[in-house]
Amino acid sequence: MPYINVNNDFAGIRGLMAFSPETAEPMGELANALLKETEGLSPAERELIATHVSYLNECFYCHNSHGEIACIYLNGDRELVDNVRKDYQHANISNKLKSLLNIAAKVQQGGKFVTTEDVEAARKQGATDKDIHDTVLIAAAFCMFNRYVDGLGATTPTDLSTYPPRAQQVAERGYGKHIFSGAQPAAQKV
């Protein structure tokens, strides 16, 4: 149960956004800019970064939401998403993405944990300045989103079957007003 009366029964960040549409709109625009961009990192890689940072922040709602979106982009490869979430160094992903996840994990600890050596290691694996920039911004933004969700005690479904239908909607339509104004799609049988 949320710590404040949000006057709706939407789960996670959706309930908070419906409560405050004036802040929801720019947050949705930021999410679209960070996660739906196709220059450099793919949407799947972007969602994996968001998932990993949310997992490190122990934000159950966000790491499951964004993990499910990543699954959609990865043709349902939930095992890969789980491996990235918990032990990306041994996941079947590129060395470039591993080096970027290293940077994201350091941003999650605090921006000053990122070193010149971390950035150079990412560059050696083929990361561009845009890839590095976007990784840091995704990680920083997800620290904010995670703290927003958990800091206000947003409703967090523990039934994992409720996450895929919303993930499909986000993968198809992006982040926007429909996220917090439309009804939750029906849960899938897992």
- Would 6 be classed as within a structural domain? no
Give me the percent of the chain exceeding a pLDDT of 70: 93
Distance, in Å, from the CA atom of 134 to the CA atom of 190, rounded to the nearest integer, reads 33
Q: The domain containing residue 114 runs over which residues?
A: 39-175
Q: How many domains does the chain have?
A: 1
Residue 1 lies in a domain: no
Under 8 Å between Cβ of 28 and 179: yes
pLDDT grade, residue 187 (50/70/90)? low
Contact 100, 122 (CB under 8 A): yes
Residue 118 sits in a domain whose CATH number is 1.20.1290.10
Residue 91's pLDDT is 97
How does the average pLDDT of the chain come out, rounded?
A: 93
Is 61 part of any domain?
Answer: yes
Give mean pLDDT, residues 73-84.
97
Over the range 85-120, which residues count as b (16 or more CB within 10 Å of their CB) and which as e? Answer: beebeebebeebbbbbbbbbbbbbeeeeebeeebbe
CA distances from 35 to 42, 134, 174, 186 (A): 8, 9, 9, 24
pLDDT-derived band at 143, boundaries 50, 70, 90: very high
Q: Write the CB contacts of 86 (distance below 8 Å, at least 6 apart in sequence).
A: 55
Query: Quick check: is 54 in a domain?
Result: yes
Q: How many angstroms separate the CA atoms of 90 and 21, rounded?
A: 40
Residue 11 lies in a domain: no
Domain annotation covers residue 181: no
State residue 125's pLDDT score.
98
pTM of this structure? 0.93
The pLDDT score that the predictor gives to residue 176 is 74
Q: How buried is residue 142: exposed, middle or buried, by Cβ count under 10 Å (0-12/13-18/19+)?
A: buried
pLDDT at residue 178 is higher than 70: no
